[in-house]
Amino acid sequence: MTKHIWCARPRCNERISVPRRKPSRHPKKHRTFSVINPATGDSLAMYPIATQAEVRAKVERAREAFRSWSKLDAEDRATYLLHFAEVLRKHKADYAETMTLEMGKIIRESIAEVEKCAWAADYFGQNGPAFLRPDIVATDAMRSYVAFHPRGVLGSIMPWNFPMWQIVRFAVPALIAGNTVVVKPASASPQSALNLEVAFREAGLPDGAFQIVVGDRTTATALIRSPVSVVSLTGSVGTGAQVAREASRDLKKVILELGGSDPFIVASDADLDAAAKGAVAGRFVNGGQSCIAAKRFFVVDSVAKEFLAKFAENMRRLRVGDPLDPSTDIGPLVSRMQRDEIEGQVKDAVAKGAKVEVGGKRGRRAGWYFEPTLLSHVTKNMRVLREETFGPVAPVVAVPDLDTAIREANDSEFGLGASLWTQDLAQADDLAKQLESGMVFINGIVKSDPRMPFGGVKHSGVGRELSRYGLLEMVNIKTVEIFPGSPGASAVRKETE
């Protein structure tokens, strides 16, 4: 018996068949949820909410898979990841369309997201074995080294805004390290996650090595309480605190990538044309629904008027429309609630004295659209500066000098990324040290890269993802010291402890 899963392209009426367990004699009716196309408001599909028993069964299957997967050489595990990258590229068009239909990402960005997932799989497939080689350390022992061993089954709770990339950037390093993975995706984008499960299966991964469990908050809680070794979350600060509390009951390690309100700082000597283009790219990626999007713009007074004009000019060129149309630059927000939240933040700013330079209103079409919005005369008491603005709104603040810009940038509960635009690169190095963030980009926008660690400070998270540093978050870093085997030989060691 098979369970048919909604296809990436409804018009082709294609179906993907996945094995389903034999039903019990007295089956319980599942609670379900609906996935809504944010561009139209239409329902795409209904999904069952996994029960606690189903979550436990998946984790147990992952534990069984761990026994064999963890014993493979890292080089052997790497071949599966390289095959996985090939599968992603093979199905790129379908996977991209699924993301766009589920959460409204414009199709160009959806295609780029699948390509980035393949890049990460290639990167860890090619470099993971070297990252996991023991570090030799000189000690009193005959031989001593630091080994990097898998931790077991890792649980992950992932959001909707990058529905494939967020999962892949966690799962790929976890898998190359020898762990197995169970992921609970956001209820707004379950099919994008299920497509990854199918892709890993097509790449030949053992049954249970990578699994998706679809559901709601109760499903996430069941996953955290299950016998997983590590819990990873990308989400809000509030959700991160709840997950950390729940995981602490069993002293489980957590990796948390939480909110961001990244500053975008423009110095008086900046290339204003480049900075204005960077501001549009950095603020409106994914319709502004990104934790590392630029969300607070601090511009030195002497160039503020010129920068604002160039920023507005570039924004007016953005085309709002059908996210499946390759010419569209801005699609809908993910939900009515998200659209209403952004609208409320803009209204609050205007009521307190902000000036709308561009946009400022809901879109005039079906779906959850909001116009790309540029605000000037923004002050600290406005929600657009105090809160994370998860949508297409850019608040600009004029400041007297760079010292003030740095101080204002650091005046936030968040510390994920920061972008600084200046032609004085020597000064930029010093300013980068002063910025309270996990990432700083000089004359560029903040973005994730498999080769570099990703994460923040303060309320923006705990731990790192990507690069060797992110991989080492998912292993048991084990000290091994070896002494001669003759009786009493170990007693020769100097007592230095």
For 302-360, what is each residue's pLDDT tens digit?
999 999 999 999 999 999 999 999 999 999 999 999 999 999 999 999 999 999 999 99
pTM assigned to the model: 0.92
DSSP for residue 364: S
Q: Which fold has domain 9-18+28-258+460-478?
A: Aldehyde Dehydrogenase; Chain A, domain 1 (3.40.605)
The CATH superfamily of 262-442 is Aldehyde Dehydrogenase; Chain A, domain 2 (3.40.309.10)
**Tokens describing residue 27:** 């089956």
In sequence order, the 6+-apart residues with CB closer than 8 A to the CB of 470 are: 169, 173, 453, 454, 455, 463, 464
Could you tell me which residues come within 8 angstroms of residue 256 by beta carbon, excluding any fewer than 6 positions away?
A: 232, 233, 234, 240, 243, 244, 461, 462, 463
**Which active-site residues does the annotation give?**
257, 291
Q: Exposure of 66 by Cβ count < 10 A (0-12 exposed, 13-18 middle, 19+ buried)?
A: buried
Q: For the chain, give every domain's residue range.
A: 9-18+28-258+460-478, 262-442
Helix (H) or strand (E) holding 462: strand 461-462
The residues, any chain, with a CB within 8 Å of residue 274's CB and separated by 6 or more, are 421, 443
- Reported as a single tens digit per residue, the pLDDT across 89-123 is 999 999 999 999 999 999 999 999 999 999 999 99
Residue 368 CA from chain centroid, whole number: 22
pLDDT tens for the 497 residues of the chain, in order: 333 334 433 333 333 333 333 434 444 678 999 999 999 999 999 999 999 999 999 999 999 999 999 999 999 999 999 999 999 999 999 999 999 999 999 999 999 999 999 999 999 999 999 999 999 999 999 999 999 999 999 999 999 999 999 999 999 999 999 999 999 999 999 999 999 999 999 999 999 999 999 999 999 999 999 999 999 999 999 999 999 999 999 999 999 999 999 999 999 999 999 999 999 999 999 999 999 999 999 999 999 999 999 999 999 999 999 999 999 999 999 999 999 999 999 999 999 999 999 999 999 889 999 999 999 999 999 999 999 999 999 999 999 999 999 999 999 999 999 999 999 999 999 999 999 999 999 999 999 999 999 999 999 999 999 999 999 999 999 999 999 986 654 544 443 34
Give per-residue burial for 451-476: e unless 16+ CB within 10 Å, then b.
eebbbbebbbbbbbbbbbbbbbbbbe
CA distance 154 to 221: 14
User: Among 183, 186, 266, 187, which residue's Cα sits nearest to residue 231?
Assistant: 183
Query: Which residue is it, tokens 């510390």?
Result: 415
Q: In the 8-state DSSP scheme, what is residue 244? A: H
CA distance 373 to 26: 54
Which residue do the tokens 């002050």 mark?
379
Dihedral sign, Cα of residue 208, residue 213, residue 217, residue 219: negative
